[in-house]
Copies of this chain bind each other. A is one copy, B any other.
Amino acid sequence: AWISGTAVAASTPMVKWRLASSFPKSLDAIWNAAPQLAQRVAQLTDGKFDIRPFAAGEIVPGLQVADAVQNATVEVGHTAGYYYVGKDAAFAFDTTLPFGLTSRQQNAWIYSGGGLQLMREFFKTYNMTSFPGGNTGTQMGGWWRKELKSLADLKGLKVRIPGFGGKIMAALGAVPQTIAGGDIYPSLEKGTIDAAEWVGPYDDEKLGFQKVAKFYYYPGFWEPSAMLSFYVNLDAWNKLPKSYQVAFELAAAEVNLTMQAAYDAKNPAALGRLLKSGAQLRIFPRDLLDAAYLEAEKLYAEECKSNPRFRKIFESWNRFRSDQTNWFRVAENAMATYIPRTK
């Protein structure tokens, strides 16, 4: 009994990690990923693998989570790769790119299309490894004070939109703005900005944008889906017993699955309430979408020229995207867009 007791104890050590989230607790559908992961890992290890989640700002600011993981300030972070495109544009493939993969297509690329291996190879240079950790689905195109009749109406508008989406807006004549979440509402109200994108109905509703910018545009073509990820410091990861590694991996997979389910379940009612309180749904003008698509392709071509890390991942991703688009146009889209003519 003594020998078997020792053996078991050796394979189930007490491990304490800190998790830094890039998100505030008020974004509950995303924030919940962190406590859910911690709870599942604890249940699987009789509480011996103990992960303590911290919201944005409690240990490090939300946009410095990857650095904190790389530097081992925390062992794990819950964040979105595209926050770090300033370090390297290749981070974006871990979240989304304009006119890129939907939520299901991103999962297909990541789990069965070689995407996860490519991303982990890239993250290794930051002393991190990664686990998909949730998705929002296709985001909305944000809140606009004036209606857009065509691409020309975009000229000169100040739009709160970060990353690749911002670059495309700039190429199309708008002026992208970087504004933290809490400052968006007053900026829209005063007219300091003309539009702001956030997430989708469930999250947008909490900020009340419809009161100051009633046109609610779709689709958010710069985020056909948005995958969140858990980044783990490689040294901390390599020290884990195999069973703890699998516990972490499966807990993350559950988060990846159930966050999308939660968003899909919550968005319809939130959209209904927004429409009741005055929001007006609009689809982006066709010429705006087509011009944005061309600008996105240009950005990718330019980035591929100067950045071999981006190019390597892009080649896998782009081929996969093209195959997925062709396939989804068949059974899946035909079913999803079928509207019975029965009246």
Binding site for B on A (CB under 8 A): 1-2, 4-6, 8-9, 11-12, 40, 43-46, 99, 102-105, 107-113, 137-141, 200-201, 218-221, 224, 242-243, 246-247, 250-251, 253-254, 256-258, 260-262, 264-269, 271-272, 281, 283, 286, 289-290, 293-294, 320, 323-324, 326-338, 340-342
Contact = CB atoms under 8 A, between A and B. Distances in A.
Contacts of A201: 327
Contacts of A113: 265
A8 B12 contact: yes
A333 B334 contact: no
A333 B337 contact: yes
A210 to B, nearest CB: 15
Contact of A107 (B221, B224, B257): B257
A94 to B, nearest CB: 16
A265 B335 CA distance: 19
B254 A250 contact: yes
Contact of A112 (B6, B247, B264): B264
Interface of A is mostly: helix
A32 to B, nearest CB: 11
Contacts of A247: 44
Q: Which of A12, A257, A324 has the most CB of B within 10 A?
A: A257
Nearest to A249: B254
A216 B221 CA distance: 32
Number of copies: 2
Contacts of A338: 99, 219, 221, 289, 293
A258 B112 contact: yes
A43 B45 CA distance: 12
Contacts of A218: 330-331, 334
A1 B11 contact: no
B139 A104 contact: no
A46 B335 contact: no
A341 B288 CA distance: 11
Contact of A246 (B8, B43, B268): B43
Contacts of A221: 335, 338
Contacts of A140: 330-331
A322 to B, nearest CB: 9
Contacts of A109: 265
Contacts of A328: 336
A113 B320 CA distance: 32
A253 B326 CA distance: 28
A154 to B, nearest CB: 18
A326 B275 CA distance: 13
Contact of A250 (B11, B44, B268, B340): B44
Contacts of A246: 40, 43-44
A220 B221 CA distance: 29
Given A9-B8, A332-B137, A323 B269 contact: yes
